[in-house]
Amino acid sequence: MQISNIPFGTTDWLKIERTEHLGESGVAYWRTQHFGDLRVRMVEYSAGYLADHWCSKGHILLCLEGELHTELEDGRTFTLTAGMSYQVADQAEPHRSATALGAKLFIVD
């Protein structure tokens, strides 16, 4: 990947409008910025959140707070806590997120 045509800038995430996305259970709140083809998000999952779909989009994801459980469609599971990250390519391994306690994430895709 090459990042191009994006001038230096800063983002105050608290000033970005928050959108609500319901899961199978719980809710996700996204604050989203677009930089060319890149989507960058600050995402908060409520306690008890479970995604309502299997995602095939590639991401680089950093867990900032809480605990995130990621299940791959093949049955493998991974737990991220604050300071941990994962990366997955587009169309590589369908995955979905869940959290019992809630989580705050920084995601680039």
Residue 94 lies in a domain: yes
Residue 14 lies in a domain: no
Residue 69 lies in a domain: yes
65: containing domain? 40-108
Q: What is the pTM of this model?
A: 0.91
Half-sphere exposure (CA, 13 Å, Cβ side) for 3? Answer: 10
What digits encode the pLDDT tens for the residues 61-82? 999 999 999 999 999 999 999 9
Residue 72 lies in a domain: yes
pLDDT, residue 1, reads 65
Beta bridge pairs of residue 63: 105
Number of domains the chain contains: 1
Residue 57 lies in a domain: yes
**What CATH number does the domain containing 52 carry?**
2.60.120.10
Residue 3 has pLDDT above 90, yes or no: no
Q: Who contacts 94 (Cβ-Cβ below 8 Å, separation ≥6)?
A: 54, 55, 56, 72, 73
The rounded Cα 88 to chain-centroid distance in angstroms is: 12
- The burial class, CB within 10 Å (0-12 / 13-18 / 19+), for 8 is exposed
Question: If you average pLDDT over residues 34-49, what whole number do you get?
Answer: 95
Please, are residues 76 and 49 in contact by the beta-carbon 8 Å criterion?
no
Q: Which amino acid is at 77?
A: T
Main-chain dihedrals φ then ψ at residue 103, nearest 5 degrees: -155, 150
